[in-house]
Structure 1
Amino acid sequence: MDMRVAVVGAGGVGGYFGGRLAAAGGDVMLVARGRHLEAIRANGLSIRGAAGDVTVPPGAVVPSVDAVGRADVVLVAVKLWDTEDVARQLRPLAESGAAVVSLQNGVETREALRRHLPEESLLGGVCYVSAVIEQPGVVVHRGGFQKLVFGEYDGRRSERVVELAAQWAGAGPEAEVSTDITRMIWEKFVFLVGLSAATTAVRQPIGVVRGDAGSRALLLDVMRETVAVGRARGVALDPSFADERLAFCDTLPPDMAASMHHDLTHGNRLELPWLSGAVARLGAELGVPTPRNSTVADILSPYVQGAPATAG
């Protein structure tokens, strides 16, 4: 049976995965806002990329969580600073039985969501994709990978996670169930923090970063520190996982960069406090040194709220 899936935050990630499912005939409602919402209402949501171009009709978008009506699953794909506000809005849906899955960056979203939502409504989620809003109403997919992973936090292979993963069969993205979703979230976090820190601080895509000895060392050290923090928190990360991720970085398209790099170059707000900033903060709490992440957080600090005003 098809689930009714609501996607809160139809930007690069939410627009891509929700749009692919909707284009394949899935029962999907996309929640968007601002100029992106207006453009989708006028012309539908266009998704472009190596996996093929599709257009989602305007009727699949709504302006708010209240307008969703009913949902079996809610995918949360808003920027991290909006998590608490969205969680409050989702409470009626969660209390009516909807499962809530965060596809956001970071490793602290479960704690943020559980402050406002029933614990039993929460599922873990991880996504792998490079997709951004190129212009209002248009999401561009860069690179070839497109994958979703879902899981119960207690490791059960429940009926709802199996059914959720099955929704994307035939829609394009790969989807699977994990029995250790917390580790999966941290494994993505290690890679994401490294890619975000290095490409944003250097202001260059991964091809340049990995090809220079100094920036390559920065990338590896940032990931090693993140692994150390995760292990100190009890996550079963392999001690050599950062080196494995560096090898993975060598396989990426040379023009690939993190979404934080895109946000910096476009003068947008940054998720830095939940990425390198979070590694530095958690490291301080746990007594784990994080000099590279702390330095990246300091270097990029003036840009956290967007392009800084020019000093007079």
Structure 2
Amino acid sequence: MRFVIIGAGAVGGVVAGRLAGAGADVAVVARGAHLEAIRRDGLLLRQAGGDSVHRLPAYATPDEVDWRAGDVAVLGVKSNDTQGVLQRLPRDVPVVCLQNGVANERAALRLFPQVYGVCVMLPSGHLSPGVVLAQCDPVPGILDIGRIPHGTDEICDAIAAQLRAAGFHSEPREDIMRRKYAKLLMNLANAVEALCGRVEALDEAAEPLRAEGERVLQAAGIAYTSAAEDAERRGDILRMVPVAGEERGGGSTWQSLARGTGAVEADYLNGEIVLLGRLHGVPTPVNETARRLVVEAARRGTAPGSMTAAEFLAAIALARA
């Protein structure tokens, strides 16, 4: 089995480095300065236990990959880039969605018979070309996996085993989408963290997003794991640590603003709740406001933390009025 990881940023890059370090066969697809740095210097994985450099085959697009029997395509791109990637994959390759959100699996299943979802609990970072950070130690993350729409199979079992060999906690789960919808509720706060930074009032500002999201999922009849189930799975496994002397700045959306990428995946996080709300007649002014504000911030090149929590709460109060 060879892992072709498409999108070797924070999550994809850490998984690529850890798998390669455990002896797995890994190739990556990246772009721009990040691709150039990987080709020139290798992928630098920084973690509390020490840095490691991984010389991996690196491609600019999936079209360049020398696809062969036994390959698995692992999507590590943001959800807004998924459709373009899927169109460039061979149609007989198993597709693993190593992504937040819940739309990627549906998009992949339209085109591919073997699709797998991963519930990603992996604090990681990517702010410099060629460099990724694993920000938990000694276990870098929890990556449970299941077949879409449900169940498990031999490929699922084999991937989980490889991830465990690379130091992750990973179990095959027949109900992986139930777990991914619970993670979606958590990821609704990504927009607020990016807009306001990691401030004391962050939980207060994010709570209305989750409450609205829960109402929408209930109206849609979509099951998700409870907070108690999620806490039991996490336990004390994920222990955040400084890497290279630096504390974690923020999650994936925060990092997108920090890197000035011009785009965020809020349309597929908060936007998923907005979509479901429209389909099932549930107003979603809070998530729509968060989605709009963070998308506008990305387009303007606004730095993370440029809005106060009070300003965000005032914006959603106005939207609710």
User: Whole-Å Cα distance in 2 between the matches of residues 128 and 45 of structure 1?
Assistant: 21
Residue identity opposite 2:65 in structure 1: V
User: Whole-Å Cα distance in 2 between the matches of residues 105 and 192 of structure 1?
Assistant: 8
291 and 35 in structure 1: CA distance in 2 versus 1, 3 angstrom threshold? same
User: What are the ranges of 5 or more consecutive residues in structure 2 without an aligned counterpart?
Assistant: 241-246, 303-321
- Out of 135, 147, 151, which is 2:146 matched to? 151
Matched positions, count? 288
User: Whole-Å Cα distance in 1 between the matches of residues 121 and 82 of structure 2?
Assistant: 20
User: Whole-Å Cα distance in 2 between the matches of residues 243 and 288 of structure 1?
Assistant: 26
Bigger relative contact order (CA 8 A; separation at least 6): 2
Residue identity opposite 2:250 in structure 1: A
CA offsets, 1:251-292, max 9 Å, x none?
A: 985855221112223322111211222222321221223232
User: Whole-Å Cα distance in 2 between the matches of residues 53 and 252 of structure 1?
Assistant: 18
Structure-2 residue corresponding to 1:218: 205
125 and 243 in structure 1: CA distance in 2 versus 1, 3 angstrom threshold? closer
Structure 1 range deviating more: 236-245 or 141-150? 236-245
Structure-1 residue corresponding to 2:17: 19
23 and 240 in structure 1: CA distance in 2 versus 1, 3 angstrom threshold? closer
User: Whole-Å Cα distance in 2 between the matches of residues 266 and 218 of structure 1?
Assistant: 24
User: Whole-Å Cα distance in 2 between the matches of residues 51 and 284 of structure 1?
Assistant: 47
Structure-2 residue corresponding to 1:233: 220
Structure 1 range deviating more: 293-302 or 15-24? 293-302
Matched, 1:38 2:36: yes
CA contact (8 A) 2:182 2:226 kept: no
Structure-2 residue corresponding to 1:48: 46
Q: So what's the TM-score if we normalise by structure 1?
A: 0.83
The equivalences for 1:217-296 within 5 A come to 217-237=204-224, 255=248, 257-268=250-261, 269-296=263-290
226 and 50 in structure 1: CA distance in 2 versus 1, 3 angstrom threshold? farther
156 and 298 in structure 1: CA distance in 2 versus 1, 3 angstrom threshold? closer
User: Whole-Å Cα distance in 2 between the matches of residues 306 and 132 of structure 1?
Assistant: 22
SS at match of 2:299: coil
CA offsets, 1:108-129, max 9 Å, x none?
A: 11222233x22x2211222211
More strand by share: 1
The equivalences for 1:170-249 within 5 A come to 170-194=165-189, 196-202=190-196, 204-205=197-198, 208=199, 211-212=200-201, 215-237=202-224
CA contact (8 A) 1:270 1:303 kept: no
SS at match of 1:106: coil
Identity %: 33
CA RMSD of superposed structures (Å): 2.7
Runs (4+) off by over 3 Å: 238-245, 251-256
User: What are the ranges of 5 or more consecutive residues in structure 1 without an aligned counterpart?
Assistant: none
CA contact (8 A) 1:197 1:222 kept: no
